[in-house]
Amino acid sequence: MKPRAFLLDAYGTLFDVHSVVVQGAGEMRGDLPALSALWRQKQLEYTWLRSLMGRYEDFWEITKAALQAAVAQLKIDASAAQLDHLLDAYLRPAVFPDAKSALAALDAPASILSNGSPKMLESAVRHAGLDDRFVEVISVDRVKTYKPSPSVYALGAKILNLPAEQILFVSSNSWDAAGAKAFGYRVCWCNRLGAAPDDLGFAPDLVVSYLDQIEADLRP
Amino acid sequence: MKPRAFLLDAYGTLFDVHSVVVQGAGEMRGDLPALSALWRQKQLEYTWLRSLMGRYEDFWEITKAALQAAVAQLKIDASAAQLDHLLDAYLRPAVFPDAKSALAALDAPASILSNGSPKMLESAVRHAGLDDRFVEVISVDRVKTYKPSPSVYALGAKILNLPAEQILFVSSNSWDAAGAKAFGYRVCWCNRLGAAPDDLGFAPDLVVSYLDQIEADLRP
C-alpha cells in the first residue's frame, strides 16, 4: 500500500551537514574534514546524552557546544568571530540534489520531523527554496527531547493525524530509521554512503541509495 | 569534607577497554586500533540509543552488536570464531595500574556503578584480582537503562544508602561525570588522555590525570 504521507528527517537526509564547514570555515586552518565529522558526532552525542539526563537544550545551543568541544579536541586555532561565522552557516546548509528531485516527485504530502530548532529549520528550508514542499515542519522542540525518543516520533503521527503505519518515515541516519521503526512507522533508510547498517533490533522496510529512488521502489 | 564513599565507573575508568582488542584479536588483520575505537564508540552509542528508544538489551548483547557493526563498517575480514574470541576477551579487560594503587589507598569504602552486565563485571573484577576491594558492584541491569539516565545514578546512592553529595563518583568518561554531577554526586573526572572536556552543562568538582591522585587532592 502506498503511504498516505511522507515524514522526512532534515539534517543528513535533506541537508548536507558537511556542507557547513565547507561554506563557513573562511580562513580557518586545520583538518576541516575531521572537524566536520567530530562536530557532527558530538552534536548527535549531546542530543542523546542531554535527553537521557533530562536536560534538554535546543539544537542551536547543542550545535554550538559541539562545535566548541570539537575545535578544542582537535586543537584548531579559531577566533570567536570565526566560530560564530561557522555556526551561522548551519542556518544555510546545502540541500542534497536528490532531495530536491525527490520532493518534486512524491505523490503524497511531505513533512519534516527533525531535531533542529524551529529557527534553524525555518532558515534551512527557506534557504533551500523548499518552502512550498512541506505541509508541516515539526521540531522536537515541542516535546523538549531528541530522537530516538518515542515521544518525538509520536509527535509526527499526532500532527499529521495519521496512524504511524500509514506514514513513510525517511532518514539517512540509520539509528533514526531504527527509532522510527521501533515506534511503528514504515521506514525508508537512505544510505547514500553505502554504510554498514547499525544493529539496534529494528531494520528498515526499504533501503535506497538516493531519495529520488523512493517513488519507484514504492510502485507495486 | 571527605567523601563517605567512592563510587567508580568500570570500563575506561578501572578497566582499559582498548586492551581487549590487543588481547583478543589473535590472527585478525586490519586496522585494529580503528576497530577498538569504533567498537567502543558504537557500544556507547547503542547504550544511549536503546535507552532513549526504551529498548534495553544488556551490555553483553550491546557489546556484541557493536563489534559486528564495527567490523562490518571497517570491512575487517574476521570469522565467527575470531569474533567470539574477541568478544570473550571483554570478560578479562586489563586493569589500569593507577586503579590498583588508588583502590589500595582510598580511605572510604569503594563500589562500582557500571553499564556492564552482572556477568561481565563479576568476571572483570575477579580477573583483575580486585574481589576484595569493592563493597558493592552495581550494574545498570537492575534498572534496565544506561548512563547517563538519572535512574542509574539514583541506584548507586540508594544501594550505598548515602546522600549523593556525600559520595565521590569517579569516571574517566566526561559525559558520565556530567551525568553524575547533574544527578547530584560530588564528581571526579579522571582525564588520563588530557582530553578536552565535553560541555554538557555540568563540570566535575575535581579533575585528576590518574586515579591515585584522588586521595592527595581530597586532603584539606
pLDDT computed for residue A29 by the predictor: 86
Number of Cβ within 10 Å of residue A142's Cβ equals: 13
B208 class by beta-carbon count within 10 Å (0-12 exposed, 13-18 middle, 19+ buried): buried
- Give the chain A residue whose CA is nearest to the CA of B56: A200
pLDDT computed for residue A26 by the predictor: 83
CB-CB contact of B149 with B88 (8 Å): no
**Given an 8 Å threshold on Cβ–Cβ distance, is B200 in contact with A49?**
yes
pLDDT computed for residue B112 by the predictor: 98
- A149 lies within 8 A of chain B by CB: yes
Q: Taking Cα atoms as reference points, which of B108, B152, A169 lies closest to residue A177?
A: A169
Say if B5-16+93-218 and B19-90 have the same CATH topology: no
- Domain-wise residue ranges, chain B: 5-16+93-218, 19-90
CB-CB contact of A209 with A191 (8 Å): yes
Q: How far is it, in rounded angstroms, from Cα B191 to Cα A141?
A: 33
Number of Cβ within 10 Å of residue A203's Cβ equals: 15
- Per-residue pLDDT in tens (0 to 9) along chain B, 220 residues: 799 999 999 999 999 999 999 898 888 888 999 999 999 999 999 999 999 999 999 999 999 999 999 999 999 999 999 999 999 999 999 999 999 999 999 989 999 999 999 999 999 999 999 999 999 999 999 999 999 999 999 999 999 999 999 999 999 999 999 999 999 999 999 999 999 999 999 999 999 999 999 988 888 7
What is the distance in angstroms between the Cα of B69 and the nearest Cα belonging to chain A?
A: 6
Residues of chain B neighbouring A73 (CB-CB closer than 8 A) = 195-196
Q: How far is it, in rounded angstroms, from Cα B116 to Cα B199?
A: 25
Q: Is B20 helix (H, G, I), strand (E, B) or coil?
A: helix
Supply the ipTM of this predicted assembly.
0.96
CB-CB contact of A136 with A158 (8 Å): no
**Given an 8 Å threshold on Cβ–Cβ distance, is A49 in contact with B179?**
yes
CATH says A5-16+93-218 is which class?
Answer: alpha beta
| pLDDT of A7 strictly over 80 | yes
Active-site residue, B9 included: yes
Identity (one letter) of the amino acid at A193?
L
Question: C-alpha angle with apex B68: B62 to B74, nearest 5 degrees?
Answer: 130
The percent of residues above 70 in pLDDT, for chain A, comes to 100
What are A19's three cell numbers?
556542507
Residues of chain B neighbouring A150 (CB-CB closer than 8 A) = 53-54
The percent of residues above 90 in pLDDT, for chain A, comes to 91
Q: Which residues are within 8 A (CB) of A206 and not within 5 positions of it... i.e. 6 or more apart?
A: A168, A186, A187, A188, A189, A214, A217, A218
pLDDT computed for residue B216 by the predictor: 86
Give me the residues paired with residue B113 across strands.
Answer: B138
Q: Taking Cα atoms as reference points, which of B108, B132, B134, B154 lies closest to residue B5?
A: B108
Phi first, then psi: give them for residue B195, nearest 5 degrees.
-75, 155
Q: Looking at the partner chain, which of B73, B150, B200 has a beta carbon nearest the beta carbon of A50?
A: B200
**Domain A19-90 classified CATH 1.10.150.240?**
yes
A132 class by beta-carbon count within 10 Å (0-12 exposed, 13-18 middle, 19+ buried): exposed
Q: Which residues are within 8 A (CB) of A97 and not within 5 positions of it... i.e. 6 or more apart?
A: none
Beta-carbon pairs below 8 A across chains A and B:
93
